[in-house]
Structures are given as C-alpha cells and as structure tokens.
C-alpha cells in the first residue's frame, strides 16, 4: 500500500546536523537540491495498491537511492550499507542519522515493479526533460551515436553443461508441481545428475574426447526422455517456456551421426542467433571486431555534441548490428521535445535504410558508407549509373539505357540487366564488369536516392569537419563503462539490462549537470585557469 510519508523533522535529520559538514560545491548537496524535488511518489502510484496491504517504502526514495547506487557503482547490499553509514548518501536522500531506510531486497523489488509497469525509463526521461526545460540541451542540437558491448552475467557452458542446464530448468518445477511425472522419470534417468550441485560438473577426463562424446550422447538421450514424459501433461506458461528452451538447445547444438547417435553440431553450421545459456536467454555471442569477441549485449548511446548529455540509450542482444536500434534511439527523443538536425556515426550507421527513416523524422545522418566489396571495387561504381525512378530505367556511363529487370525478394533489390549485345561491343566493358559473360548487372535498392546523396555529401569538406565531432563519444562510453559498471550486466534478461542502461545514463547526466552548476559557482579567474 502506498501512503504519504511522514515529513516531521527531528534533531537527527541530516538537514540540520550536516548542513555545515557538506560543502556548498559537493555533488551530494547539489544532488539533493536539484534531483530530489523532481521525483515524487505520485509518479509511481500505478505500481502500488493505494488502500490495501502494508505501507510501502517510499518509491521516490528508492528511485533516488537507485540513481546514487549507479553513480557509486554499488551492489544492492553495498547500497543498503551506504544508506546506514555514509553521511553523504544520507544527506542526499534526506535520511536521519539513526535511520535504516530499507533492506537491500527492497531495491530488487522496486526494479521488478518498474519493469512490470513499463516504467524502467521513467527516471531517465524525467531528468532529460528537466535538462531540456532548463535550456542545457538545445532541441535541435547535433548529436553523435555509438555502441559499446556489455558482458553477460553468466558462465559460458560447454555443450554438455548447456543441455544439462536445460534439463535442470524443467525438472526444478516438475519436482514440486508434478511429482508423479518426476518420479516416473527417475526410473529412466539418474535425477541426481541434474541436481543444482552437479549440473556444472563435467565428466571425468574432461580432455578425453571419446568420454565427452559418450557423455553428450547420455545427456541428449536424457533430455529426449524428459521431453517425451512431459509431452502430454498440461503445464503452465513458465514450464512451457522452459520446455521450448530445451528443444531449442537440442535443435541448435545437436545433430545425428551416420549411426543415428547424437553429436555436437559443427560450429560453422550453427545459426547466428544461437542460445548461449538458459540462465540468460537474451544474451548472445557478439563481436566488436574480428578479434574482439564477447558474450552478452550491446548498448547504443546518443549524445549531444555541444552539451555532452546522453539523450538516449538502447540495449540489444550482442549479435545485433550496431545500427539496429539507431532509428529508435533518435525518434524516441521526440517525446522529450528533441529532434536533432544531424546525427553523426561511424560506418555501422551509414546504411541507407537508417538514413531514409531518420530523414523522415527530420534528422540527417552523417556517416561513412560501407567499403565496396572486393568483387566490385575495381569496376564502375553504382553512382555512375543514372536511375530514373519514374520511368523505371537505368542508364550506364556510356549512355546505354535498359528496362530489363527483376525484383530479388531476398535482397530487396530491383536488379537491372544490360543487353549482352551492347556490353560485348562496349569500349568500357573491362572497366565496367568482371562477369564471365561480359554483362553488367546493377541492383537498385529502395534507398538508392539516400545512398547516392550520401556519396556526394561525403566528398565535401563539411562532412570531414563533422566527422571530427564523432570521436569524443568514446569518452562518454568509457565513463559509463569504467566508473559506473556498464561493462558487465548486473542482471539477466534484456528488460533488466535496459533498466541498468537507463539508470546508469541518468546518473551520468546528473553528474554532468551538477558539474556545470559547480563550475558556475567558481570565481571567473579560477574557472578560466582550471579550463586551461
């Protein structure tokens, strides 16, 4: 039950005791002054029952405490202790010196309520709206965008362990809710093998390939036995989800050999969107480069160029392209009153589809185009061909026009063919095509216009100057990672990782905001000296 908190003061209030102790230019004093008034219990009313149950801990207190938790990069238990013994934290939260405001589990309960009510971004938006209202962020200010990787809070299991964990996740609820089926399974498989204590244990002789193959056969057969027994019983949605997960593990990782025995699927034959762990079903294998590989998630971050505030942050699985959430990250800012004139990114954000969608939002993308592949880089580029969208024709550099085309549904390209009779007599054939038959084929995408415009713009001096504004976002990513714990996930699942991203970004924005306010308090000469 949510109810109004008592505001009566006493001699243990930090407002009185610590007024002279906390400096005027303290982060925590400024935090109390500018952040605490922005967040109140009424914003979280829908998360609680108003007239039934025990009185709830103030959600605004938990929200502000969570911001400070991410600012300090503390665990739930460390934050509980800080609220008990750290004078600065007590002062910022408005607590009494003798007050223990909540248990560490209350922070977890609060995050759960936020996710259940789709309010995980509420605090971030609240702070961002205030920054826009205060004029610290210009509504059309140029922005830059980049992504960083986040390592999942999981151990990477072997194929044997992965299957065993999939079985364990099903057996755990079966033991409590479907005891008869559970006991029946015990007649065919060794249930102790799939206990919490043993699921992570590898077979003896872990480097003996033959033993590992034999063990894999055993656990796969056990998995199929479990699926067979549970096939015809009615289970709830949670158990059904675990069943589908085990089926997916087997489908993605196991194949049959010549004798019909299960064996591990060759890595090259596995799908790109393969399940990494049943503990965190949203985590994926990802790569930032050919050598830099990781398991977990990515976060797309947009930042204003001049004021250097984070305007949005979007979490996504680790195997997603960097630009996947780029359009969403920019267009979502409309509800905060932000429509950047330009967004600067690297090659990952130069795709024509992103350019077209953001242009419709009123935002131009400034980014390099992808490098031409080896097969076509030595021939006439697509930009030398003139496409007439109205007449549906294509003219080559030598003035030959063709209408002959077909639509490739897989690549979503309209593919034009030039007549072989003309290509074989053309003086520029060798420079135009590497096709064995000597015929040039050109694919025109739905975003051809945007790509051709980008090609021309990327040759200008203005493009070069704007691209010089992109690298500083690396500093913001480094700040999120090094000082506020964004390199590793605190929680499991995309929703919870998104919540971590929003609170981390909110803490970083507040830190930037307070720095600006403190700099204004300094004498002009001192501020100039420090700037130098």
Q: 323-370 pLDDT, tens per residue?
A: 999 999 999 999 999 999 999 999 999 999 999 999 999 999 999 998
Report yes or no on whether pTM surpasses 0.85: yes
Q: Highest mean pLDDT: which of 44-48, 270-274, 434-438, 508-512?
A: 508-512
pLDDT tier, 252 (very low <50, low <70, confident <90, very high otherwise):
confident
pLDDT for 171: 87
CB neighbour list of residue 118: distance below 8 Å, 6 or more residues apart? none
pLDDT tier, 295 (very low <50, low <70, confident <90, very high otherwise):
very high
pLDDT for 231: 82
Q: What would the mean pLDDT of 408-416 be, rounded to a whole number? A: 87
Q: What would the mean pLDDT of 210-216 be, rounded to a whole number? A: 83
* Residue 3 clears pLDDT 70, i.e. is over it: no
pLDDT tier, 99 (very low <50, low <70, confident <90, very high otherwise):
confident
* Residue 6 clears pLDDT 70, i.e. is over it: no
- Kindly report the length of the chain: 532
Burial of 48 (0-12, 13-18, 19+ CB in 10 A): middle
What integer best gives the mean pLDDT of the chain? 87
Q: What would the mean pLDDT of 409-418 be, rounded to a whole number? A: 88
The beta-strand segments (E) located in 410-467 are 413-417, 441-444
N-to-C CA span, the chain: 54
pLDDT for 259: 75
* Residue 292 clears pLDDT 90, i.e. is over it: no
521-528's contacts with Cβ under 8 Å and 24+ in sequence apart are 521/24, 521/25
* Residue 374 clears pLDDT 70, i.e. is over it: no
Please state the φ and ψ torsions of residue 25, each to the nearest 5 degrees. -100, 20
pLDDT for 429: 85
pLDDT tier, 190 (very low <50, low <70, confident <90, very high otherwise):
confident
CB neighbour list of residue 414: distance below 8 Å, 6 or more residues apart? 392, 405, 406, 407, 408, 443, 444, 445
Q: Express each pLDDT in 31-42 by its tens digit.
A: 999 998 999 988
Q: Express each pLDDT in 153-169 by its tens digit.
A: 988 888 888 888 888 88
Q: What would the mean pLDDT of 404-433 be, rounded to a whole number? A: 87
- Rounded distance between C-alpha atoms, residue 532 and residue 528, angstroms: 6
CATH of 121-154+283-369+458-532, one of 3.30.428.10, 3.40.50.720, 3.30.420.10, 1.10.260.40: 3.30.420.10
Rounded to whole angstroms, what are the CA distances from 131 to 58, 70, 136, 173?
25, 19, 5, 48
pLDDT for 305: 96
Residue of 252, 301, 244, 304 lying closest to 275 (CA atoms): 252
pLDDT for 272: 78
Q: Express each pLDDT in 100-112 by its tens digit.
A: 889 999 999 999 9
pLDDT for 380: 84
Domain ranges across the chain: 1-119, 121-154+283-369+458-532, 159-269, 382-446
CB neighbour list of residue 520: distance below 8 Å, 6 or more residues apart? none
pLDDT for 120: 94
Q: Are 184 and 365 in contact (CB under 8 A)?
A: no
* Residue 7 clears pLDDT 70, i.e. is over it: no
CB neighbour list of residue 422: distance below 8 Å, 6 or more residues apart? 400
């Amino acid at each position: 039950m949510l109810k109004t908190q008592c505001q009566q003061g006493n001699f243990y209030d930090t407002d009185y005791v610590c007024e002279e102790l906390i400096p005027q230019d303290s982060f925590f004093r400024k935090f109390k002054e500018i952040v605490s008034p922005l967040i109140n219990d009424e914003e979280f009313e829908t998360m609680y029952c108003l007239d039934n149950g025990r009185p709830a801990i103030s959600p605004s207190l938990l929200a502000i405490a969570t911001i400070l938790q991410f600012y300090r990069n503390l665990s739930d238990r460390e934050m509980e202790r800080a609220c008990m013994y750290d004078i600065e934290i007590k002062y910022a939260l408005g607590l009494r010196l003798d007050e223990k405001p909540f248990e560490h589990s209350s922070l977890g309960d609060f995050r759960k309520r936020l996710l259940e009510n789709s309010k995980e971004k509420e605090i971030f938006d609240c702070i961002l709206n205030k920054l826009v209202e205060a004029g610290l962020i210009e509504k059309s200010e140029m922005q830059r965008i980049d992504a960083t990787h986040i390592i999942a809070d999981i151990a990477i299991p072997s194929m044997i362990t992965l299957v065993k964990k999939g079985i364990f996740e099903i057996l755990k609820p079966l033991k409590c809710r479907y005891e008869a089926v559970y006991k029946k399974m015990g007649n065919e498989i060794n249930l102790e093998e799939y206990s919490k204590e043993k699921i992570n244990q590898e077979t003896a002789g872990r480097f003996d390939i033959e033993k590992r193959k034999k063990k894999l056969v055993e656990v796969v057969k056990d998995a199929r036995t479990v699926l067979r027994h549970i096939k015809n019983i009615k289970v709830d949605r949670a158990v059904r989800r675990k069943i589908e997960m085990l089926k997916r593990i087997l489908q993605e990782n196991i194949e049959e050999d010549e004798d019909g025995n299960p064996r591990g699927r060759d890595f090259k034959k596995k799908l790109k969107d393969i399940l990494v762990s049943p503990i965190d079903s949203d985590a994926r294998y990802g790569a930032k480069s050919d050598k830099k590989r990781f398991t977990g998630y990515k976060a797309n971050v947009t930042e204003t160029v001049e004021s250097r505030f984070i305007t949005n942050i979007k979490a996504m699985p680790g195997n997603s392209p960097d630009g996947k959430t780029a359009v969403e990250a920019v267009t979502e800012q409309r509800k905060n009153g932000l429509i950047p004139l330009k967004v600067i990114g690297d090659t990952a954000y130069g795709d024509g589809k992103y350019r077209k969608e953001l242009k419709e939002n009123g935002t131009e993308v400034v980014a390099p185009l992808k490098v031409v592949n080896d097969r076509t880089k030595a021939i006439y580029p697509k930009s030398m061909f003139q496409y007439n969208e109205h007449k549906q024709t294509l003219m080559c550099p030598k003035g030959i026009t063709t209408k002959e085309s077909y639509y490739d549904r897989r690549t979503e390209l309209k593919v034009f063919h030039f007549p072989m009779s003309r290509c074989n007599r053309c003086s520029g054939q060798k420079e135009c095509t590497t096709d064995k038959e000597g015929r040039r084929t050109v694919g025109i995408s739905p975003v051809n216009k945007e790509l051709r415009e980008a090609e021309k713009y990327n040759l200008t001096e203005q493009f070069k100057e704007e691209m010089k504004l992109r690298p500083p976002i690396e500093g913001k990513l480094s700040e999120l990672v090094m000082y506020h714990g964004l390199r590793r996930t605190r929680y499991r699942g995309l929703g919870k990782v998104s919540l971590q991203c929003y609170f981390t970004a909110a803490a970083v924005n507040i830190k930037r905001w307070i720095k600006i306010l403190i700099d204004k308090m300094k004498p002009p000469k001192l501020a100039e000296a420090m700037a130098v």
